Structure 1
Amino acid sequence: MTQVEKVLRFANQNDGIITTKELKKLGVGRWVLQDLERLEKLFPVQRGIYVTKNGYADDFFLLQQRYPKGIFSHETALYLLGYSDRVPIQIVMTFKQGTSTTRMKADNIRPVTISKNEQYEMGIIEAKRPGGTLVKVYEIERVLAELLKPKYDADFEQVIPAFKRYATDKEKDVNKLFRYARMFGVEEKVRNYMGVLL
């Protein structure tokens, strides 16, 4: 198998996407990308990310690649998890405190920073995007609790319907929701919302 075939085979098995990081793992030189680009077999969509003719890399996947330490959260997570039908006007991502956020404004990202490492890492799951790519997002119980934090200015036109949808979800874990509520100091608010809906 030639290096060109190796790259195309990998890309086709990976929803039509290959990154320069993955190329390195395959032990293939970057010149192969240039050849495939010239042959119009691969197309650059962002620095370090290429797709085949049938490949598709959506905006959320591209942002995740650009900011790999960011976790989609808050209203953006509601949308990605199917708890809101509104496409986010501004993308909300959570980062560890100390992450440089200056260039994120150009990408329409509202960065939220967390100082405690265990809070940053807790509840990360993956959401599947059209085309089959995966992005990191916080689980719904964490998202609902975080949206009620006093220092976060949440869009309550999205929060209330999300709580209603959660209340009817067969997969909901109310105990987990209250664990997050305690962690973020919003137990009373969550109790009020869930008391009305359950």
Structure 2
Amino acid sequence: MSNAEMILELVRKNNGVVTAAEVTQAGISRGSLNHLVNSGLLEHASRDVYQLAEVWDNEMYQLQIRYKKGIFSGKTALFLNDLTDRTPIRFHMTFPLKYNIGVLKKQNVKCNRTKP
């Protein structure tokens, strides 16, 4: 089985999404991801997140994958728990107090910090 086939198998097991860390854990070089992107089989969704071309882009899922210490809160949590019928314009996430949120301020995320 080639590296590309192993990556595509990982992607199918993960509902069409794979991270660069998962590929590295499987013992496959990250260069194979670039090869699949260049051939059109995968799309580069966000930093270190790749998905199949036919998979619908889910921004909340990508945020959760990239920022594992963050949790959805506020209006976003209400939306996810079906307690409101309004889709949030900005995503609300809460992070530990010392977590660096500089990159998130440039994205569509309103960040809160809290003590552990």
TM over 0.5, yes or no?
yes
Between the two proteins, the alignment pairs up a number of residues equal to: 116
Residue number in structure 2 paired with 1:98: 98
CA distance in 1 between partners of 2:50 and 2:3 (Å): 16
> Counterparts in 2 of 1:1-198, with a 5 A limit?
1-115=1-115, 117=116
TM superposition shift of 1:50:
0.9
In the alignment, structure 1 segments of 5+ residues that lack a partner are 118-198
Question: For the Cα contact (< 8 Å) 1:17–1:57, is it kept in 2?
Answer: no
CA distance in 2 between partners of 1:88 and 1:95 (Å): 19
TM superposition shift of 1:5:
0.8
Question: For the Cα contact (< 8 Å) 1:91–1:110, is it kept in 2?
Answer: yes
Q: Between Structure 1 and Structure 2, whose CA radius of gyration is higher?
A: 1
CA distance in 2 between partners of 1:71 and 1:107 (Å): 16
In the alignment, structure 2 segments of 5+ residues that lack a partner are none
TM superposition shift of 1:80:
1.0
Bigger helix fraction: 1
Q: Kindly report structure 1 stretches of 4+ aligned residues shifted beyond 6 Å.
A: none
TM superposition shift of 1:114:
1.4
TM superposition shift of 1:68:
2.0
What root-mean-square deviation, in Å, do the aligned CA atoms of Structure 1 and Structure 2 show?
1.4
CA distance in 2 between partners of 1:101 and 1:39 (Å): 34
CA distance in 1 between partners of 2:80 and 2:89 (Å): 13
CA distance in 1 between partners of 2:15 and 2:45 (Å): 14
TM superposition shift of 1:77:
0.3
Equivalent position amino acid for 1:56 in 2: W
Residue number in structure 2 paired with 1:130: none
User: What SS is found at the alignment partner of 2:35?
Assistant: helix
CA distance in 2 between partners of 1:35 and 1:105 (Å): 32
Aligned-pair identity (%): 31
Q: Structure 1 length as normaliser, TM-score? A: 0.55
| 27 and 104 in structure 1: CA distance in 2 versus 1, 3 angstrom threshold | same
CA distance in 1 between partners of 2:26 and 2:85 (Å): 39
CA distance in 1 between partners of 2:96 and 2:42 (Å): 34
Bigger strand fraction: 2
